[in-house]
Amino acid sequence: MARTIKLTLAIVGILLFLIILAIIILPHIVDFNKHKPEVEAGIYNATGYEVSLEGDIELSFLPWLGIDVGKASVANPPDFEDENLGSVEALQIRLKVWPLLLGQVQMDRVVLKGLNLDLVKDAQGRPNWIASRPEESREGVMLGSSLAYAGENEPAQQDSGDIFIPALDIAGLEITDSNISYKDMGTDVHFRIEDLDLLTERIRQDEPFDLQSDMKFKNFSPELDGRISLTTQALLQGEEKSIRLSELDMDLDLSGEPLHEPVKDARIRGDIVYAFGANSMEFSELSIQALDADLSGKISARELDAVPQIRIDLEGDNLDLDRIMPPPEENSETGNNPGNSPNSNPENDDKNNMDLGFLHDLALEGEIKLTSLKAYQAVIDELSAQITSGNGEMVISPLTAKLYQGTFEGLLSLKDVQDEAHIEMDSSLRDVQVKPLLQDVAEKDFLSGTAELDSELKTFGKNTDLFLENLFGEARIEVRDGTIRGMDLDHMIRDGFAAAFGEERPSRDDEETTRFSSFKGSFDIASGIASSQDLELDSPALGMTGDMRLDLPESYLESRARVTLAGALKEEIEERYALPQAGIPLRIRGPFDDVSVGLDIEDIVRDLLREKGEGLLQQLMDQMDPENEEQENGARDMLQRFLPR
């Protein structure tokens, strides 16, 4: 019996020796490159992918089970135009055999050089990374993933909780000179990652390892170019089925169409956890420094495989949105309103239409608190907003701000109604200083004072032109203790009467201003036209009542009012011209950026002369200097103009 056992062990030993000897010698005496066609055919039959092995293949069995592949490519499915789905210049993978049999993956450093991967979805939503095996007409295999397509275009349902992460032990991962692009023909989403380099230290499950990467990226619509360089400490967590990136430190450059100013040397730091099982992500300890702004907070997302549920909590300081957003486009032929073009139809202006997809593509909740915010040249000292979005609707409430020594409180809602934006906004401004606000926002200096504004507005449409045309609601405004620059009503009245009576015109001050204690009115707004019938202006020298019509789509103003005199100015005019208490017609009209103001003095004088006739004539003649022939002739000319013949 013992002899039999010894003989058996000897035979087994000899066989093991021969097998090991064959493993060592076989790769050196068998040229696997001669069997490339068989290998390519085998891959095609197993996966449905047409693989071309252009470079050399080298196999090794001891001490590692390894493969080195030279240049290789994977063809696109027949329905796609581009020649290749992907290609690689060199790939090196080596595994230890015995741990593999125990369900463990121990590998030497994995080297991937010159990867080029072009991922495409056609207009029907079919991806090019899905291929069908020849013997299967309706089932497909996804390259590099355990996910499978159960039908021609429908993905099989997979329980994310069943994801298995094997026990990994990889000496490192090295990816160099690689490019990855993605293009969706149905949505025009098209971006590309270029010059991707990625290097890691030893990768072991539940043990942190260092990772660093550099890449360039390009988005094609809108055009956006960037560069990313990052370092982090990564951790694969088997029990939690997650990957954690701790102490992430990313440097970022951005430039392109969506940006008013290129972003240079931006820095993003924080910790990221992505849970495979729960399809969720959390970005905590977030810190963003870019364009002199400093933001911090937390972002989390759940249900990433369905409609993402996103939560954002951000605080920040010194954020200048004008350095990020491009300025509004101006049309040189039609002023600031492109809708004035005779050939334009705002409803068909697809280029400027508002994309409401974000109201459906994700659900968002968040709170944002900012200090020293700048937007559209307006400076906001503090802003606080709570945002809720999803199911085709967004609500921002409460929305509060401190700006220009005053306060703002409001509510904003945006709803998608059959691909059309419906907007409602209620707002209240208190104690806002008008002068610096207008100087910043409009670069104008024509009005000062302390303003209050209450408004309830609604509008709908697909772009900003339609928002103006479809604006409805009501508003009330009051400005206290202010000054109108560029219009001196006192001087205009004196000058008008002097001109009408042929007198010497009064001199004009260097700075034309009209001071007032209160200017107020209420507006009804319909179809973009704001109308007021109760405008009032009060000042020590005069008062004014009237109406106003603001055509917002056409940027045009028209107002008719009557000016009544008060104080010293009233006494002066009544004594000099025997003027009874009456209103002087005032008309204001013109484009917003070129308003003209005129007093209708001649109507007052004509009525006065018709009423008083000879008595007023004699009163005027008594006031004239008999030796001043020019003054006498002026009075005669005035009477010839106004008195009926």
DSSP string computed for 131-199: EE-TT-SS-EEETTSS-EESSSS-BPP--GGG----EEEES-EEEEEEEEEEEETTTTEEEEEEEEEEE
In this structure, what DSSP letter does residue 71 have?
S
- Reported confidence tier of residue 255, pLDDT bands at 50, 70, 90: very high
State pLDDT tens for residues 83-110: 788 888 888 877 776 666 666 667 788 8
Edge-to-edge strand order for the sheet containing 140-142?
Answer: 130-132, 140-142, 148-149
Higher pLDDT, 421 or 607: 421
Q: What pLDDT score does 482 carry? A: 93
Percentage of the chain beyond pLDDT 90 is 41
148-162, 278-292, 315-329, 625-639: range with lowest mean pLDDT: 148-162
Per-residue pLDDT, averaged over 110-128, amounts to 86
Q: Which two tokens stand for residue 160?
A: 């994310």
Q: What pLDDT score does 162 carry? A: 55
Instruction: Classify 30 in phi/psi space as left (phi over 0), alpha (psi -120 to 50) or beta.
Output: beta
Q: What pLDDT score does 138 carry? A: 41
Q: What pLDDT score does 481 carry? A: 94
- Residues 249 and 232: beta-carbon distance below 8 Å: yes
Q: Strand 203-204 relative to strand 130-132: parallel, antiparallel, unpaired?
A: unpaired
Residue 288 has pLDDT above 60, yes or no: yes
Q: What pLDDT score does 145 carry? A: 40
Q: Which two tokens stand for residue 210?
A: 């260092």
C-alpha atoms less than 13 angstroms from C-alpha of 265 in its C-beta half-sphere: 1
- Residues 546 and 532: beta-carbon distance below 8 Å: no
Per-residue pLDDT, averaged over 189-207, amounts to 91
State pLDDT tens for residues 184-196: 888 788 999 999 9
Higher pLDDT, 425 or 495: 425
- Residues 115 and 86: beta-carbon distance below 8 Å: yes
Residue 128 has pLDDT above 70, yes or no: yes
- Reported confidence tier of residue 571, pLDDT bands at 50, 70, 90: confident
Q: How far is the C-alpha of 180 from the C-alpha of 160, rounded, in Å? A: 26
Residue 156 has pLDDT above 60, yes or no: no
Give how far the C-alpha of residue 303 lies from the chain's centroid of Cα atoms, to the nearest Å.
24
Q: Strand 363-375 relative to strand 309-317: parallel, antiparallel, unpaired?
A: parallel
Residue 55 has pLDDT above 70, yes or no: yes
Straight-line distance from the first to the last Cα atom of the chain, in angstroms, rounded to the nearest whole number: 154
What CA dihedral angle connects 455, 527, 443 and 353, to 10 degrees? 110
Residue 595 has pLDDT above 80, yes or no: yes
Residue 114 has pLDDT above 70, yes or no: yes
Contacts for 185 with CB less than 8 Å, ≥ 6 apart? 120, 121, 122, 123
Per-residue pLDDT, averaged over 546-571, amounts to 88
Q: How far is the C-alpha of 581 from the C-alpha of 560, rounded, in Å? A: 19
State pLDDT tens for residues 503-531: 777 777 667 888 999 999 999 999 999 99
- Reported confidence tier of residue 613, pLDDT bands at 50, 70, 90: low
Print burial letters for 527-552: b (CB count within 10 Å at least 16), e (below 16).
Answer: ebbbebeebbbebebbbbbbebbbbb
Q: Which two tokens stand for residue 405?
A: 């020594």
Q: What pLDDT score does 579 carry? A: 65
State pLDDT tens for residues 343-375: 455 555 566 788 888 899 889 999 999 999 999
Q: What pLDDT score does 141 carry? A: 40
Q: Which two tokens stand for residue 149?
A: 């397509």
Higher pLDDT, 303 or 510: 303
What are the DSSP E strand ranges found in 276-375?
280-290, 293-302, 309-317, 363-375
Query: Can you give the C-alpha Rg of the chain in angstroms?
Result: 40
Q: Chain-wide mean pLDDT for the chain?
A: 80
- Residues 335 and 344: beta-carbon distance below 8 Å: no
| Sign of the dihedral defined by the CA atoms of residues 447, 448, 449, 452, in that order | positive
- C-alpha distances in Å from residue 225, one per residue of 118, 255, 390, 434, 551: 18, 5, 30, 40, 41
Q: What pLDDT score does 333 carry? A: 41
Residue 340 has pLDDT above 50, yes or no: no
Nearest to 206 by CA among 176, 174, 169: 169
Q: How far is the C-alpha of 140 from the C-alpha of 128, rounded, in Å? A: 11
**H-assigned helices in 265-383:** 358-361
